[in-house]
């Protein structure tokens, strides 16, 4: 039986590189001149912390970060922008969580897409991964194509690992 795993993860070193490049650009940009803010990545908590003087600069820092993530080969949908920026003294802070693992809601969407494809494979949810097994590798590649084609519907970056035949 051939199988592969579906996971969603972000390489912390590549993410750290993207944050460092974004921080350098922010320091050199004219519209951020004399900014007392910061942009940091906490690997253990897996979140990006933005501290700026106002909401507008927080938005621009987010845009710079997303563009640098794309240039580093990371999917910008791995960031969770659901938390709002909050005031802390004279500064505005925003904590952006970096998504890791497939949550229950997304795994249900993936399972539904696999079942709706009518390909003869079986899928099983294992914590934050999904294992797909089938008799032929062609069937598994068909499932990968279906999931890549519907990536907007899933709403998170997916990686396909541990392909075994």
Model pLDDT for residues 27-55, shown as the tens digit of each residue:
888 877 777 888 899 888 889 999 988 88
Tell me what percent of the residues of the chain surpass a pLDDT of 70: 100
Asked if 69 and 23 touch (Cβ cutoff 8 Å), the reply is no
Q: Give the number of C-alpha atoms closer than 13 A to the C-alpha of residue 26, restricted to the C-beta side.
A: 27
Indicate if the pLDDT at residue 151 is higher than 80. no
pLDDT for res 141: 86
Q: Where are the CATH 3.30.70.990 domain residues in the chain? A: 12-98
2-8+101-164 CATH pick, 3.40.50.720, 3.30.70.860, 3.40.50.970, 3.90.1300.10 = 3.30.70.860
12-98 CATH pick, 3.40.50.12780, 3.30.750.24, 3.40.50.150, 3.30.70.990 = 3.30.70.990
């Amino acid at each position: 039986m051939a199988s592969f795993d579906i996971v969603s993860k972000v390489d912390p070193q590549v993410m750290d590189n993207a944050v460092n490049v974004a921080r350098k650009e922010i320091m050199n940009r004219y519209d951020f001149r004399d900014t007392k803010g910061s942009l940091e990545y906490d690997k253990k908590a897996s979140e990006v912390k933005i501290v700026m003087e106002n909401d507008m600069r927080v938005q621009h820092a987010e845009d710079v970060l997303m563009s640098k993530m794309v240039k580093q080969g990371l999917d910008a949908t791995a960031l969770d922008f659901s938390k709002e920026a909050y005031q802390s003294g004279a500064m505005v802070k925003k904590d952006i969580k970096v998504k890791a693992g497939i949550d229950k809601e997304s795994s249900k969407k993936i399972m539904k897409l696999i079942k709706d494809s009518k390909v003869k494979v079986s899928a099983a949810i294992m914590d934050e991964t999904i294992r797909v097994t089938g008799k032929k590798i062609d069937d598994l590649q068909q499932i990968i194509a279906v999931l890549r084609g519907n990536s907007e519907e899933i709403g998170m970056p997916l990686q396909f690992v541990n392909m075994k035949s």
